[in-house]
Amino acid sequence: MDIAKGDILTMKKTHPCGSNKMLVLRSGMDFKLRCLGCGHEYMIPRLKAEKNIKAVDMSGRENMH
């Protein structure tokens, strides 16, 4: 799965705050994600995150450079 910094992930499981949108802050073996609902940031292993991804919005990539 092609995921890079600046992408917005729509997750299958919602965050406890009710949002299912996550901004990718860092990509690699682990992702660093920021919840767009509550702003919480966390690290998650790539394999674990990929199982929970429903859709990837890549339109934000340009803005991060």
List contacts with Zn ion (CB under 5 A): 15, 17, 19, 35, 37-38, 40
- Least gap, CB of 7 to Zn ion (angstroms): 17
Q: Which residue has the tokens 């929970």?
A: 52
Q: Are 22 and 37 in contact (CB under 8 A)?
A: no
Q: Output the smallest distance, CB 20 to Zn ion, in A.
A: 9
Rounded (10°) CA dihedral 19, 31, 26, 54? -50
Nearer to Zn ion, 8 or 35 (CB): 35
Rounded least distance, CB 36 to Zn ion, Å: 8
